[in-house]
Amino acid sequence: MKIDAPEVMSEVLAAFDRYERALTNNDVTLLKELFWDSPTTIRYGEAENLYGADQIHAFRAARPSGPRPRDLLSVRITTFGQDFAVANAEFRNRSESRLGRQSQTWTRIAGAWRIVSAHVSYMDA
């Protein structure tokens, strides 16, 4: 298995960037597309544990509309073979001082990169 193959890194970084744009612009349709549509998909958030794509999509749809600007401070992606990757990021929402951390597990499903597990947490700066 090849780790961090350049072509796979490029694909995952492009998927990660799409997710980041969708998140900061609150593009619920694209966010839904980027999560694997499965009851086994998981997202642990700051105050919620979401199990399955339906719960994740309902959470996103219920959030207030409008942009949520943030600054990425660090992004680290590691790929394993052609179809699996882990992305970790540190960020700061522009509306607060806490440091955010985000972990995502990505896999290629039916030719497209999808998030199968995600975790977001914060710590005081």
Checking if the pLDDT of 34 tops 80, the result is yes
Domain spanning 6-123 has what CATH number? 3.10.450.50
Q: Is pLDDT of 125 > 90?
A: no
Q: Are strands 112-123 and 70-80 parallel, antiparallel or unpaired?
A: unpaired
Residue 49's Cβ-count burial label (10 Å; 0-12, 13-18, 19+) is: exposed
> What are 80-97's pLDDT values in tens digits?
999 999 999 999 999 899
Q: Are 87 and 76 in contact (CB under 8 A)?
A: yes
From CA 64, how far away is CA 49, in angstroms rounded?
Answer: 19
Residues 49, 39: Cα–Cα separation, whole Å? 13
- Return the structure tokens found at 78: 């590691």
CA 74, 119, 5, 37 dihedral sign is: negative
d(CA 14, CA 29): 17
For 36-76, write each residue's pLDDT tens digit: 999 999 999 999 999 999 999 999 999 888 888 999 999 99
Question: Phi then psi for 124, rounded to 5 degrees?
Answer: -65, 140
pTM value? Answer: 0.94
Query: At which residue do the structure tokens 């998030």 appear?
Result: 115
